[in-house]
Amino acid sequence: MPPGESSAGEGARKLPPRPGTGRERGPRPLGGRSVAGPAHPVNRAVPRGRAPQRLSARQLAERRRQNFFMVSGITAVVVVIVGGIITLSVTGGSGHKAASKRTSTTASPPTTASPTTTPKPKAASSSTFSIARTLLQEVEGVPVATLVAAAEKDGSSVTRPEKLASSAPKLSVGAKPEVLYLGTEWCPFCAAERWSLVMALSKFGTFGPLRGTTSSSADTNASSPTFTFYHADFTSKYIAFVAIEEQTNTGQQLQAPTAAESALESKFDSAGSIPFIYMGGKYLVIGSQYPSPALSNMAFSKAASYLTSGANATSKGAEAAAGYLVANICALTHGQPVPVCSQVPASLQGASSSS
């Protein structure tokens, strides 16, 4: 029974005071008869010439005691029912409300109720799986020359990073420019962009063990295989990589951006679209740089080979996107490391769309 409602709905009459106290209220009348009852039957005539039966002080006390226990029992039942309803409303309704409002570039996060418990530090999310080191090396091993050549050959299918105005806030960790990534594991466009990010970033540093995951099974490009950057370990002498994966592929909360990171996103992406990649304050990527419907429901091991083959449109797009990222990072690091940045042709140095 919802809190505040009686069994008879609105307009239920109040009971008269129970005889003998003037304050206590008994159960509501049922069928014209009081459950607790006065000293003699209600709505029944008293035989003529016969006085109504009177109760002794002892009987009256006993009846009051029975009425007290009856009222106490009913009150306890009501408290249990109301408590149960409140518990259900708190635990059952809070999960969905706690879901992030951000959306991917064309799709929304899963609408299934999601727990709001934040996993312990360094714990992998339940939606991830281990990937073989050989598969990571396969993706990292695409040569710089291949990436920049793909970018040079790119037509209009791949989106270049946007060049920011010189007044844009600069990001750095120590003396190293910072590449900031904001995304979620359920986002299919984040799933596609991570492949290019791993290809590009691996030319400037080293990833520790990465785990695999898939995008949401209920979104565009359903169940696209990908890496997750949740607690990713990246070591580099040239750049800092900061990654925030806000939710799992089922909407479970993982990480939250800092106030400063949220302010940057609000300034340059008021719609809250993801992925959001802010490159040192000079370049910006919002959304995936290349189309990736072919990845839907593909096994991770097959996707790694597919995206590094250079033999299909999706692979060429991923490699071209990585080539643009390499060129932009070289602009951030002032051409370091030389073995990498010396391979970037002048036409791609700082390559981006118009400001």
Q: What is the mean pLDDT of the chain?
A: 75
pLDDT at 149: 96
Higher pLDDT, 204 or 12: 204
Residue 216 lies in a domain: yes
Higher pLDDT, 44 or 293: 293
Displacement of CA 41 from its chain's centroid (Å): 64
Over residues 132-156, the pLDDT tens digits come to 999 999 999 999 999 999 999 986 7
pLDDT at 313: 95
Least confident of 101-105, 111-115, 196-200: 111-115
Tell me whether the omega of the peptide bond preceding residue 17 falls within 30 degrees of 0, making it cis. Answer: no
Instruction: Give yes or no for residue 167 having a pLDDT over 60.
Output: yes
Over residues 53-72, the pLDDT tens digits come to 444 444 445 555 555 555 45
Residue 257 lies in a domain: yes
pLDDT at 99: 23
Higher pLDDT, 27 or 181: 181
Residue 242 lies in a domain: yes
Q: How many domains does the chain divide into?
A: 1
Over residues 99-110, the pLDDT tens digits come to 223 554 434 444
Instruction: State the pTM of this model.
Output: 0.67
Instruction: Give yes or no for residue 1 having a pLDDT over 50.
Output: no
Residue 251 lies in a domain: yes
3-class DSSP string for the chain: CCCCCCCCCCCCCCCCCCCCCCCCCCCCCECCECCCCCCCCCCCCCCCCCCCCCCCHHHHHHHHHHHHHHHHHHHHHHHHHHHHHHHHHHHHHHHHHCCCCCEECCCCCCCCCCCCCCCCCCCCCCCCEECCHHHHHHHHCCCHHHHHHHHHHCCCCCCCCEECCCCCCCCEECCEEEEEEEECCCCHHHHHHHHHHHHHHCCCCEECCCEEEECCCCCCCCCCEEEECCCCCEECCCCEEEEEECECCCCCECCCCCHHHHHHHHHHCCCCEECEEEECCCEEEECCCCCCHHHCCCCHHHHHHHHCCCCCHHHHHHHHHHHHHHHHHHHHCCCCCHHHHCCCCHHHCCCCECC
The C-alpha atoms of residue 300 and residue 293 are separated, in whole angstroms, by: 14
Instruction: Give yes or no for residue 31 having a pLDDT over 60.
Output: no
pLDDT at 30: 34
What's the whole-number mean pLDDT along residues 103-118?
40
Question: What is the domain extent for residue 163?
Answer: 129-348
Amino acid at 301: S
pLDDT at 350: 73
What's the whole-number mean pLDDT along residues 244-248?
96
Count how many residues are written for the chain. 355
Q: Provide the 10 A C-beta neighbour count for residue 350.
A: 16
Instruction: Give yes or no for residue 9 having a pLDDT over 90.
Output: no
Residue 53 lies in a domain: no
The strand pair at 283-286 and 162-163 is best described as antiparallel
The C-alpha atoms of residue 319 and residue 142 are separated, in whole angstroms, by: 8
Residue 30 lies in a domain: no
pLDDT at 215: 97
pLDDT at 126: 55
Instruction: Give yes or no for residue 28 having a pLDDT over 60.
Output: no
pLDDT at 37: 38
Give the pLDDT band (50/70/90) at residue 77: very low
| Among the listed residues 320, 255, 291, the one whose alpha carbon sits nearest the alpha carbon of residue 124 | 255
Residue 188 lies in a domain: yes
pLDDT at 67: 56
* Residue 278 dihedral angles phi and psi, to the nearest 5°: -110, 115
Tell me whether the omega of the peptide bond preceding residue 275 falls within 30 degrees of 0, making it cis. Answer: yes
Burial of 147 (0-12, 13-18, 19+ CB in 10 A): buried
pLDDT at 212: 97
Place of tokens 């602009």: 331
pLDDT at 293: 97
Assess contact for 223 and 217: CB atoms under 8 A. yes
Over residues 280-300, the pLDDT tens digits come to 999 999 999 999 999 999 999
pLDDT at 352: 73
pLDDT at 193: 98
Residue 79 lies in a domain: no
pLDDT at 189: 97
Displacement of CA 53 from its chain's centroid (Å): 72
The C-alpha atoms of residue 4 and residue 212 are separated, in whole angstroms, by: 50
What's the whole-number mean pLDDT along residues 4-24?
41
Give the pLDDT band (50/70/90) at residue 157: confident
